[in-house]
């Protein structure tokens, strides 16, 4: 993305400063703050996710600056506390024996019942997001989620599509989220190593028809945490989804090479339609 630079005029000695005319007076739109939710993964927190994605935040701000778009990234923390016993592959050792119930800074948006495939605590997680939207003053334009946060990003995007009729058990939080965002749906959502919600109480109304909000999906070629088929399932349930595969594992790639596709995608759906030009250059 090239920067649009306006030339400067140097006044002649003894003359008044020239007054720019027409488009030269201001060839940029006024600055606009863009609110984007950033959703951490299972066992993480908002502050931890921000620490891991600061490079993404900086590069995104730099990429949007030429269009006078100022991203405001909001990092809420999920409400459901996890304990050492809830962490995958947790193995107590002699020095931490008996600490399975110790409080640690690890959180989840929901919990999956492995026996039934159903999701527990979804209402708590989504109500927390409604509170985050309310505290931000509403008008959230996009959401970016990692792993479980990517799944929740799809839930949020779909639930804000007003034509959907949620199952009765989810109606209350859906109504609150829609009200918090002023009845507006998102302009985009992004999933890093995300997956689709297999819970039957969610999938029936979330993904049928497919999620209509534009989406970008990052896959890690070496991801051993989320199976590729689970992420591909989310792509297949998203209308016109864009897929990017990076050569790493289960993480958000923060180098410029992998942030630029994100910046281009976000910019595409943030820019307002241009008014018909009254003059040709």
Q: Which of 86-90, 167-171, 243-247, 276-280 has the lowest mean pLDDT?
A: 276-280
Predicted pLDDT of residue 11: 35
In a domain, 19, yes or no: no
**Count of domains in the chain?**
1
Q: What digits encode the pLDDT tens for the residues 27-70?
A: 667 899 999 999 999 999 999 999 999 999 999 999 999 999 99
In a domain, 247, yes or no: yes
In a domain, 56, yes or no: yes
State yes or no: pLDDT of 1 exceeds 90. no
Domain that residue 243 falls in: 29-90+99-270
How far out from the chain centre does Cα 50 lie?
A: 12
In a domain, 8, yes or no: no
CATH number of the domain to which 49 belongs? 3.40.50.1820
CB-CB contact of 233 with 243 (8 Å): no
In a domain, 214, yes or no: yes
Q: At what angle do helices 122-135 and 148-159 cross, to 10 degrees?
A: 70
pTM metric for this prediction = 0.85
- Closest by CA to 48, choosing from 146, 195, 152, is 146
In a domain, 23, yes or no: no
Q: At what angle do helices 171-180 and 148-159 cross, to 10 degrees?
A: 80
CB within 8 Å of 190: residues ≥ 6 apart: 142, 143, 144, 145, 150, 153, 215, 216, 217, 218, 262, 265, 266
Mean of pLDDT over the chain? 87
In a domain, 266, yes or no: yes
User: Average pLDDT, stretch 220-246?
Assistant: 98
Q: What digits encode the pLDDT tens for the residues 195-206?
A: 999 999 999 999
In a domain, 248, yes or no: yes
């Amino acid at each position: 993305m090239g920067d649009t630079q306006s030339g400067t005029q140097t006044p002649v000695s003894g003359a008044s400063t020239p007054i720019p005319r027409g488009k030269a007076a201001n060839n940029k739109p006024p600055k606009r703050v863009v609110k984007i939710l950033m959703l951490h993964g299972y066992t993480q927190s908002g502050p931890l996710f921000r620490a891991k994605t600061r490079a993404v935040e900086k590069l995104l701000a730099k990429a949007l600056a030429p269009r006078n778009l100022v991203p405001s990234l909001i990092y809420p923390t999920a409400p459901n506390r996890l304990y050492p016993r809830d962490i995958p592959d947790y193995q107590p050792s002699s020095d931490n024996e008996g600490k399975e119930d110790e409080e640690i800074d690890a959180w989840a948006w929901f919990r999956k019942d492995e026996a039934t495939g159903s999701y527990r605590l979804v209402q708590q997680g989504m109500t927390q997001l409604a509170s985050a939207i309310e505290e931000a003053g509403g008008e959230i334009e996009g959401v970016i989620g990692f792993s479980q946060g990517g799944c929740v990003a799809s839930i949020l995007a779909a639930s804000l599509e007003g034509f959907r009729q949620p199952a009765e058990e989810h109606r209350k939080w859906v109504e609150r989220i829609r009200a918090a965002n002023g009845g507006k749906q998102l302009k985009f959502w992004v999933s890093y190593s995300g997956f689709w919600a297999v819970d039957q109480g969610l999938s029936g109304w979330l993904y049928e028809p497919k999620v209509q909000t534009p989406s970008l999906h990052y896959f890690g070629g070496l991801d051993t945490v989320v199976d590729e088929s689970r992420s591909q399932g989310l792509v297949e349930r998203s209308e016109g989804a864009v897929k990017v595969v990076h050569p790493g594992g289960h993480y958000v790639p923060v180098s410029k090479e992998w942030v630029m596709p994100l910046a281009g995608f976000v910019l595409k759906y943030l820019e307002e339609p241009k008014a018909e030009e009254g003059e040709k250059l």
